[in-house]
């Protein structure tokens, strides 16, 4: 999808009420996107054992209120090896969405990552 050159592509204005640490985490994540990073859970090498029905129910709630198609696109979509540059799966990446452990079949989640990982820096 091409964005017109005069269109806003990043909005950080809502961070005025965020704590300094939350603002820093979000800014690092969003600037990762500006540099071309994808969400880590969408990496071709990510194999998160989601409990799909629990994920649908979780994201259907506020504040997201996502339908199943939106969850499919934002959570379950994985980029193909042909359409992205990627590294080994990095659960410590600033680009990883939080994964509550109760949304996986093995009870292992991913916390909010607040720093650039070693792989992010590479």
Model pLDDT for residues 62-115, shown as the tens digit of each residue: 999 999 999 999 999 999 999 888 899 999 999 999 999 999 999 999 999 999
Does residue 6 form part of some domain?
A: no
Does residue 12 form part of some domain?
A: no
Does residue 38 form part of some domain?
A: yes
Question: Is the separation of the CB atoms in 43 and 77 below 8 Å?
Answer: no
Does residue 28 form part of some domain?
A: yes
Listed in sequence order, the residues at least 6 apart from 32 whose beta carbon sits closer than 8 Å to its beta carbon are: 94, 95, 120
Does residue 25 form part of some domain?
A: yes
Domain of 38 in residue numbering reads as: 20-121
Whole-model pTM: value is: 0.86
Q: List beta partners, residue 104.
A: 50
Does residue 13 form part of some domain?
A: no
Does residue 15 form part of some domain?
A: no
Number of domains in the chain: 1
From CA 63, how far away is CA 68, in angstroms rounded? 15
């Amino acid at each position: 999808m091409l964005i017109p050159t005069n269109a806003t592509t990043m909005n950080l204005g809502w961070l005025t009420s965020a704590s300094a640490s939350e603002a820093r985490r979000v800014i690092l994540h969003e600037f990762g996107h500006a540099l071309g990073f994808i969400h880590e859970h969408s990496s071709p090498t990510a194999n998160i054992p989601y409990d799909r029905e629990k994920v649908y129910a979780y994201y259907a709630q506020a504040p997201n209120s996502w339908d199943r198609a939106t969850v499919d696109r934002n959570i379950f979509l994985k980029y193909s090896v042909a359409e992205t540059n990627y590294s080994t799966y990095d659960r410590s990446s600033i680009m990883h969405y939080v994964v509550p452990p109760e949304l996986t079949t093995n009870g292992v989640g991913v916390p909010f990552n607040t720093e650039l990982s070693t792989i992010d820096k590479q």
